[in-house]
Amino acid sequence: MRALILLFLFVSPVLAEQFSAQNFGIIGTKRTLVDAWFFNEGKQTATRGVRGAGDLLSGPVWITGYHGPGLNFLATNSRVELQNESAFDFITQTSTWTLIIVYKADNPPNGIIFSKTNTFSAVGFYMQGTAAAADDMAINFNVSGVKKIYTPPLTKAQSAGKNWRVFIFDYCSRSNKPEVDDVIFSIDGVIFTDTNDGTIAGSIANNNLAVISGWDAGTSTPINWRMDMVALLRGDGRGPLTTPELKLIVDRVLGR
């Protein structure tokens, strides 16, 4: 009976949203929910976040997701433009924040996953699979044309597969812990590949819309991921997440 109740809880999109709509619902008090998008509409040209809406542009496709419907970002420049721009201004090089994505990838990432640069702007912050990082997952900060690439040790082989996976990027003042499913690939290290020698200073808040998927600088390569949900949380100096906390997130978003 308990198993049935649990099954219903996590298969039901409505309850899943309620679960994650609480500020501290997903991992306790170390992170505050900024917004989450569950892509449960299954149709329409917009998707409703917990706090703000996103517009579906250039051909994301509604598909069968993990919890109900999801979106496939197969088409060139297909993206969700998030309308509440100011909600993401806290993302800087030195702030603490956590990005959680439930996804399935047939191939290694080779496009934008999440950015705060608006469409076609190469200046700002974006996370992508990138050739500059030998197709590994990378995070880019590009301030005033000066770019730094931080490459978490998450290889292409680890990022794609047949199953739905959870990607967690816990960014804490330049240390992070990328995780796919419940395998942690790095605890506190960052492989640092630098395309420029200069040090970046200043804010990356560029007053542009944040984007899920979208334009990949230079190639317009789509991310080609199926996404069931995306959530963004902020840490406000509360430190990096621990391994048990990361595992707790994975268990909760997968309904285990």
Partner 1 sequence: MKVLLAMLLLVGTSVAQEPDPTYTFLLRRSSFTQEQLSDLRAYGRAKDDQPARITSVLVAPNTNYILFSVSPTKRVERDTLLALIGNGRIAPVSKLTIRSVPDGRRGGLEVWPEMEDCKTSPGRYVCLPEDFNRDWTEIVISSK
Please tell me what DSSP assigns to residue 16: H
CB of 109 to partner 1, least distance (A): 16
CB of 146 to partner 1, least distance (A): 14
Complex with partner 1: residue 42 or 108, whichever CB lies closer:
42
CB of 172 to partner 1, least distance (A): 32
Residues engaged in binding partner 1 (CB under 8 A): 42-45, 56-64, 72, 74-78, 120, 217-220
**Which H/E stretch holds residue 248?**
helix 243-254
Contact between 19 and 252 under an 8 Å Cβ cutoff? The reply is yes
Instruction: Specify the 3-state DSSP secondary structure of 234.
Output: strand
CB of 212 to partner 1, least distance (A): 14
Query: Angle, to 10 degrees, between the axis of helix 13-21 and the axis of helix 2-11?
Result: 80
Complex with partner 1: residue 41 or 89, whichever CB lies closer:
41
Complex with partner 1: residue 64 or 203, whichever CB lies closer:
64
Complex with partner 1: residue 48 or 238, whichever CB lies closer:
48
CB of 194 to partner 1, least distance (A): 22
Greatest alpha-carbon pair distance for the chain in Å reads 60
Complex with partner 1: residue 72 or 115, whichever CB lies closer:
72
Complex with partner 1: residue 158 or 224, whichever CB lies closer:
224
DSSP E strands in the chain: the ranges are: 32-37, 46-48, 53-57, 61-64, 69-72, 79-82, 96-105, 112-115, 124-129, 137-143, 146-151, 165-172, 175-176, 179-180, 183-184, 191-193, 210-213, 225-234
Instruction: Specify the 3-state DSSP secondary structure of 42.
Output: coil
CB of 101 to partner 1, least distance (A): 19
Tell me the C-alpha distance between 209 and 120, whole Å: 11
